[in-house]
């Protein structure tokens, strides 16, 4: 980079960030059993429907926003929105209806359509499930304030990797780590460009890549994360949360190899 005053990239792409707020600290990488089942259900449904990765990640982001809003407005939800669910009686658990509703909302928001291969023969139980999904769809939309299209970290990740001239192994690893972060509620506390920067930071550490630096007018070193207004402390703090979650995934995969695929390994192998 020589004597350039700063790395040649903008602080963020020209998109309006949609941020979900929460008062709950994101300090733990542990998910409850119910949340873990819901996350896997959404991921499996999105994979079976062959949804684009952006739509899948948007679905997971909406789930975190819904869980946060439900906890914050639990009293109001139990008094108002959940009344829509009382007449619905079907053999499907509520969390599965939530999963289907989140996938439906993300599909509509990202304009993902799938044609029916053939006419389906349905009975009364189908219509009960359909009514349950619609009721939960309305319930989720009210809880998240109809913010159905959050700004995802993907454009930030691409912009930063391109500006840093990162080699392909670093880019692949950063992308794979970013996919895994959607299992965590990081979007509730951190903006999308921060999450993208953390993934790049971890990928650089893994591959030993040193991002280029610049110099200010007084001769002090300007690091790439300073240009995008992300402190080194934030990179370390959020990075530890992500690493802790990845370690828990590795341990879970070793203990129960048939429960969940190692998505990080799959993404890395598929990218090579």
pLDDT, tens digit, 9 for 90 and up, residues 179-237: 999 989 998 889 999 999 999 999 999 999 999 888 877 778 889 999 999 999 999 99
What pLDDT is attached to residue 112?
81
CA 119 to chain centroid? 34
The tokens for 232 are: 């080194």
Structural domains of the chain sorted by starting position, each given as residue range(s) with its CATH number in brackets: 33-115+122-143 (1.10.472.10), 154-271 (1.10.472.10)
Q: What is the pLDDT of residues 61-97, one digit of tens each?
A: 998 898 888 776 654 544 454 444 444 555 567 888 8
- Bridge-based pairing of strands 221-222 and 214-215 is antiparallel
Residue 157 pLDDT > 90: yes
Q: Distances in Å between the alpha carbon of 56 and those of 44, 141, 206, 225, 264?
A: 10, 17, 26, 28, 16
* pLDDT tier at 264, thresholds 50, 70, 90: very low
- Answering whether pTM is above 0.75, one says no
What pLDDT is attached to residue 113?
76
With contact defined as beta carbons under 8 Å apart, do 28 and 49 qualify? no
Smallest Cα–Cα separation from 29: which of 179, 204, 229, 244? 244
């Amino acid at each position: 980079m020589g004597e350039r005053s700063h790395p040649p990239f903008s602080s963020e792409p020209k998109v309006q960030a949609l941020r979900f707020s929460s008062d709950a600290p994101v300090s733990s990488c542990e998910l409850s059993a119910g949340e873990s089942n819901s996350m896997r259900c959404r991921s499996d449904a999105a994979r079976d429907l062959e949804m684009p990765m952006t739509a899948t990640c948007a679905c997971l982001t909406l789930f975190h926003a819904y869980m946060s809003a439900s906890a914050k407005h639990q009293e109001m939800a139990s008094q108002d929105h959940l009344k829509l669910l009382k007449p619905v009686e079907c053999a499907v658990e509520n969390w599965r209806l939530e999963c289907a509703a989140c996938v439906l909302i993300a599909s509509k928001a990202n304009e993902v359509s799938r044609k029916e291969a053939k006419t389906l023969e349905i009975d009364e139980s189908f219509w009960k499930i359909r009514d349950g999904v619609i009721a939960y769809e309305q319930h989720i939309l009210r809880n998240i304030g109809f913010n159905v299209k959050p700004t995802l970290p993907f454009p930030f990740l691409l912009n930063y990797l391109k500006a840093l001239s990162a080699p392909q192994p670093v880019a692949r690893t950063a992308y794979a780590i970013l996919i895994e972060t959607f299992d965590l509620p990081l979007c509730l506390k951190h903006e999308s460009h921060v999450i993208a920067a953390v993934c790049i930071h971890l990928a650089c550490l893994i591959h030993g890549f040193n991002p280029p630096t610049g110099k200010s007018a007084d001769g002090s070193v300007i690091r790439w994360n300073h240009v995008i207004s992300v402190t080194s402390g934030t990179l370390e703090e959020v990075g530890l949360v992500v690493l802790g979650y990845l370690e828990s995934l590795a341990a879970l995969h070793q203990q129960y190899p048939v429960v969940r695929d190692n998505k990080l390994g799959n993404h890395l192998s598929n990218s090579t």
